[in-house]
Chains A and B, each alone.
Chain A
Amino acid sequence: MMEIINSKHWIEWLLIVAKFAFAFVPVLFILLLIPMERRGAGFIQDRQGPNRSYFWLPYFGRIRLFGWVQNACDGLKLFTKEIYAPSGVNKILFALAPAIPFVIVLISPCVIPWFAPMVFTMGDQVVRVSGNTVDSEVGILLLFGLSSLSAYGAVLAGWASKSKYSLLGGLRTSAMTISYEVCLGLSIMGMLLMVGSFRIDDIIAWQEAHVWGIVAQPIAFFCFLISMIAETGRAPFDVAEGEPELVAGFHTEYGAMQFGLFYMGEYSHIGINSILVACLFLGGYSVPFFSQTTIQANMGYSLAVLCGVFILLILTFLHMIYRYSRWYKTSAATNKTVILREYSLYKLLGWVAIPALAVIGIASALFIHPEFTLVDGKAVYGLGIALGTALIQILVLLVKACFFCFVWIWVRWTLPRFRYDHVMNLGWKVILNIALVNLVITAVVAKLVLGGN
């Protein structure tokens, strides 16, 4: 026991335990995705989207947070509803099924690297902490395997519900998962061939050294994205819960938080898949135009730039707030004073945050000058620099993932649902073949040009 504990530095143990918190990142994506989906859908359809729910603050009155409070209201409603099962269902499986997608969602991010492996000196020891919870040689295969397990939730729900609609929905889900897992695996093979490794860390390192995967393998990227959307079972591939035919598909008989778990499982699945696409094709945590060594050597300036980006975003936000305020002042709205009072809170927060960030940025640019020691001819910095780099890299990864979250919503509210046989046609006859041809061409080119082994 003591040998195991002593085999690693205490700070390494601490970071390893802390990394478990990343399991909850896809769950946090739900908080982002629900308002993004509902208001995004509203905007795409020229509506306003849900923006009425609010909480109350003493001076500022009703705080609506642009529809973000709707999350809490939805959740509260689902939690307080009665859980019931129709008679004749398989009780155990019926209760178990909604938990499966959600549990999978907590497990599967374990192989996603959130930051480049940290290498830093602690005292006179060099500590290396990998960016993912499980540093596996077959990371991406593990992730595919785990995320395809979430189909069990739908299948078991369909089987246990004792409803024809649910059963058909479950069947369709299993068929979809089988067909699109193949496309998913094959479309990524070209990328893996060039990298020569299944580790997501290596894939990102290759992209950092060469070009982003979306440039190297554009066709694979589209195949992968389409398969991913199909695998999450979202529109236009949501035949498993197609309302016109199957009421609500596999979760027809579910209500309350059991339905909520399916819902949350679906959204966090989108979160994981967005992170995965960002990792495989958009360089993952690698900062565009700056290498990791540059960032580490100029940590103070990097943090200053980060603060500058935040200030720019807050200024944009404030500009929008001021524009809305001006419009509300001239409009004939009867709730003018309430809205303007609410906006005054955002203005206050924005104008407090900007000087604070400016001070932090300037201070970091002036005072952070990292010292390094040479280890095997490479500059290795201390713990603070390693944590700062990790912070920047996590933020970059999350920004890329958020973009893909938007793509999911964007596609859903643009394209109509495919008919079931069209989905199968597209999967087996189009995407699979494109992925195979792409793989062959990549293999030939990689052998001839890159001179692989």
Chain B
Amino acid sequence: MNTDKKLLEIRGLRIAGQSGDDWHEIVKGIDVVLHRGEVLGLIGESGAGKSTIGLAAMGYTRPGCRIDAGTIVFDGTDLRKLSEPARRATWGTRMAYVAQSAAAAFNPAHRLIEQCVEAPVMHRLVAANQARRSVIDLFDRLRLPDAEQFGHRYPHQVSGGQLQRAMTAMAMASHPDMIIFDEPTTALDVTTQIEVLAAIKDLVRQLDTAAIYISHDLAVVAQMADRVMVFRHGSLVEEAPTRDMLANPRMAYTKSLWAVRSLHKDEQPGGDVLLRVDAADAHYGALQVLHRISIQVPRGRTVAVVGESGSGKTTLARMITGLLPPTRGRVIYDGKPLPPRLHGRDRALLRRIQMIYQMADTALNPRRRVADIIGRQLEHHLGLRGAARRRRTAELLRMVELDEALMGRLPSELSGGQKQRVSIARALAAEPDLIICDEVTSALDQLVAEEVLKLLLRLQNELGVSYLYITHDLATVKAIADEIVVMHRGRVVQSGPKSQVLTPPHEAYTELLLSSVPEMDPDWLDNLLARRAVPAAAP
């Protein structure tokens, strides 16, 4: 690896973004240097400007953004001084971009291989036949199954992880000097993420391509990058080689990114059972999605339901709330069987089970003000009106650590974390015994997520409410659960108190899930792959 030669040099980059009629600076004077064959990690919360910087490295800005100052020198030429066609000629040939959602980046109407060879053929780098052969070679190197035939499939016929690798192949097809990876694994499950990370890492190493790897997940970047830059509010916080930064973060903000993973709750023994699901099956039409599910939620405790997407976690929540009646088995709530369907339950019963959603954006009506969203619950379930309703709304807002001045706001005038707090206040307004939390922190930044988790823990201590906490994120589980239920393909694989599930020996699937969570160790991925390869190679 010859790290002495600069491939990309950005100096004094300033980018402004438009909101309404105003321009405000979102990238505030950044210097970035990328050497040949080097992988640079960009880290930051959403809104830190890392994607904007990643795109600017290609001389591109999103609509509504403009570059105000700075130079972007790629291999000796300033991209800002190039004409639009000249700049476009470098895209897809000398530099390429891998986006977060591969599903949205592929055209569903064309076969994968046609889309992968498009860039090199269009730019007349190679003949179509040769391009195909090299893409098939890339498929093979990315460990895609049956590389010869893989490209003949359509995007919907392959899994999310495979699609993300296909997109990497597409970016690599014309052997660019530089690739920008923008959160390529964020939308994937932990077990799938491993495959993609390993494949990308190998290929970047083999082809000696320079890469900018953008992520909010420090542990992931630690596996991929040689050097890391931490951004916040469009400014550089800290820059260091990966190992140095992990071993010895200097700035307080960088340290706080570490701290999130250390949130921990002491496990408490289960009390009397509030909710029990008894050998329940559920179907969507003819398709069975839940197989003989049995779980228990003790009063005042948190039960975490863990699993990949498609494991039936959310379906379980829909069954408990009555949106999807079980086809067999039953749900027992506080000693009495729950009516299977929503309209069989009276308002008093509905009040006692509340739900908080993953996306606060869609969980709050964009046309109703905070005071109405929370106040309606008070009126509907507790019969509070007028001044009493207003007083209690203010109280609830304070309880979720929000200023009561936010009462008159619309959801669009709140930040992501504030919206999620309003959702929590709405659930609390009904004074429930059980709150079902469906991935409530996965759409939030790490620091904000930590605050929300702390809030949930505090509320449980004060109010004695039980949580059924659905998540795919094991770090969160460690932070807040008393008991854990591991689900896989609609079945409960393992369940029990946190200490028991998290200490070996594990069930095979639990082991896979646990070992797939990236750790803050740059050698973690290599070690893990070596460990996993050993039993596979053994006779």
Same complex for A and B? Answer no
